[in-house]
Structure 1
């Protein structure tokens, strides 16, 4: 254990350092406040024994400077060395960032007891910090899992809905276009009927992976919308750009060349519908989704394995 000892009286400094060495500690001596602050920065001690009366600044000022130098989450025990024992002096020391005090002249027995007590506190605090970090990591993992589709590993419907609301508000603020791509695995029910549900799950995994690899921007989001349907959010993207991304995804899936006897294409393919427009109070995210869904319907009606687009939001239903 490394202990910074701040004491201007040479005899007292030597005595305290000697006591520490007998206890198996490594003393780091300092005779003034400025030197103490410099040594604290360079040595990063585990404990500070700090005289209240120093030639350049008082120990309370040194304690406050030490606390300012500590990084978030750090804590170094500070024990004041003082001949004063009044309540007001103790209160002032605690307010400055101290944790305890030792009355001078320092007793070897009391010093040993104080150090052991501080060591226990440090150990308990370290254990608590480790536990807190583990809990934080577990919470982050739970948060991640709650946003990820368990089968395909892409975002789930919940994350998609949250991201769409967020990007919709951004589009409205910035006046930029927001694009949606809706994709469906063609004849997926026939695939399941022919090859079984386990093969169907593997098919969805491969399709999701191929689509994800076709995406280049970090801000875009691919999600499993439900069943064999996937959705992609493309912020700040015009209709032509979104159609280009959709076509790249369609081609990426086709390149898998997964056999599909139930499809007239002979392999697994996807159909995509694309929509894009600037968000406004007169429209809604649901309108954007509906436009992409209608474009997807057109792609299916036109023979599947293709991309269709719809640039305008469907007209709102007339009021009853």
Structure 2
């Protein structure tokens, strides 16, 4: 993946807007105003709105303040407290021109206010401006989480994703595996062929790893230097070792010449760790174990896979 792979979908994909109001007439007015330019979704209470946001990840929420049981303020507060929904833009819709209300809304994380009765020109402009800002923010966020050389995720993104996947595996009681990968004799490769060829080699290796991972839930990142790391949710040790071996084979199949390697071509070693996440372990332990297994693979001659279940 490169920057173009991010920009094109963001430019062509229709935005998603969730309208939240306990009055169907208000929902209908906003739906008629925006349905030609955006994908529109509706909710009639706060709990339904939160569930929709967790599932659909809309770009914007047009949120009525005054609703029974759970007010718009309560909904906004919950959305901003959840990392999964914190970046969704919230625009409050209110019949009141109350400065105190607006201050409270902005303090809770809202991005704008729309006043009833709805003025189509003002409302359209405010929503369009916030949608553009949201897409620009999403783009910058995505670029910041990519490794600029290889196009795969960077270490920062990895360290955000693994704790989230760990928590999910704890809830579902499913196995979680990590594969640590290191290009063999890479310093010798750089010394022999130069850093430009070294960069080209890393790009090809990253592409081979990404192509080998078939499932959408599987994740690969550049961990640092010539090291890569994969997260394989819902994968037991045997399956993770099999996937690691496929990656090792795919890299060797590139047949990148490397006369300073004992294999005469670029190869990669893999350390695998698998665990059923539980309270007495941490995700850091999983990485440490995979790293130890990578060391064992290096000691065992390189271009091999070593794994351990915790």
Deviation at 1:69, TM superposition (A): 1.3
- 1:180 and 2:139 aligned: no
- 1:255 and 2:214 aligned: no
Specify the SS of the correspondent of 1:282.
coil
Taking the TM superposition and a 5 Å limit, the aligned residue runs for 1:140-289 are 140-289=138-287
CA gap 1:167/1:125 in 2 versus in 1, 3 angstroms: closer
Q: Give the Cα–Cα distance (whole angstroms) in 2 for the partners of residues 65 and 189 of structure 1.
A: 65
Equivalent of 2:28, from 51, 64, 69? 69
CA gap 1:73/1:272 in 2 versus in 1, 3 angstroms: farther
CA gap 1:132/1:288 in 2 versus in 1, 3 angstroms: same
Specify the SS of the correspondent of 1:71.
helix
Specify the SS of the correspondent of 2:33.
coil
Deviation at 1:68, TM superposition (A): 3.5
Taking the TM superposition and a 5 Å limit, the aligned residue runs for 1:283-298 are 283-298=281-296
Partner of 1:132: 130
Unaligned runs of 5+ in 1: 1-63, 76-95, 98-120, 313-320
Deviation at 1:232, TM superposition (A): 0.4
Deviation at 1:66, TM superposition (A): 5.2
CA gap 1:169/1:67 in 2 versus in 1, 3 angstroms: closer
Q: Give the Cα–Cα distance (whole angstroms) in 2 for the partners of residues 273 and 288 of structure 1.
A: 11
Q: Provide, for residues 223-274 of structure 1, a one-character-per-residue CA deviation record: whole Å limited to 9, x for no partner.
A: 1111100000011110000001111111111111111122111111100000
Q: TM-score, normalised by structure 1?
A: 0.60
CA gap 1:73/1:154 in 2 versus in 1, 3 angstroms: farther
Q: Give the Cα–Cα distance (whole angstroms) in 1 for the partners of residues 262 and 32 of structure 2.
A: 63
Deviation at 1:133, TM superposition (A): 2.5
Q: Does the 8 A contact of 2:208 with 2:247 survive in 1? A: yes
Specify the SS of the correspondent of 1:70.
helix
Q: Give the Cα–Cα distance (whole angstroms) in 1 for the partners of residues 254 and 30 of structure 2.
A: 51
Q: Provide, for residues 36-64 of structure 1, a one-character-per-residue CA deviation record: whole Å limited to 9, x for no partner.
A: xxxxxxxxxxxxxxxxxxxxxxxxxxxx8
- Give aligned pairs, total: 206
Partner of 1:55: none
Q: Give the Cα–Cα distance (whole angstroms) in 1 for the partners of residues 178 and 217 of structure 2.
A: 13
Q: Give the Cα–Cα distance (whole angstroms) in 2 for the partners of residues 200 and 243 of structure 1.
A: 27
Specify the SS of the correspondent of 1:135.
helix
CA gap 1:234/1:124 in 2 versus in 1, 3 angstroms: same
Q: Give the Cα–Cα distance (whole angstroms) in 2 for the partners of residues 74 and 259 of structure 1.
A: 60
Specify the SS of the correspondent of 2:160.
helix
CA gap 1:290/1:73 in 2 versus in 1, 3 angstroms: farther
Q: TM-score, normalised by structure 2?
A: 0.62
Q: Give the Cα–Cα distance (whole angstroms) in 2 for the partners of residues 202 and 277 of structure 1.
A: 34
Unaligned runs of 5+ in 2: 1-22, 35-93, 96-118
Deviation at 1:122, TM superposition (A): 5.1
Q: Give the Cα–Cα distance (whole angstroms) in 2 for the partners of residues 72 and 136 of structure 1.
A: 20
Deviation at 1:152, TM superposition (A): 0.8
Q: Does the 8 A contact of 2:33 with 2:120 survive in 1? A: no
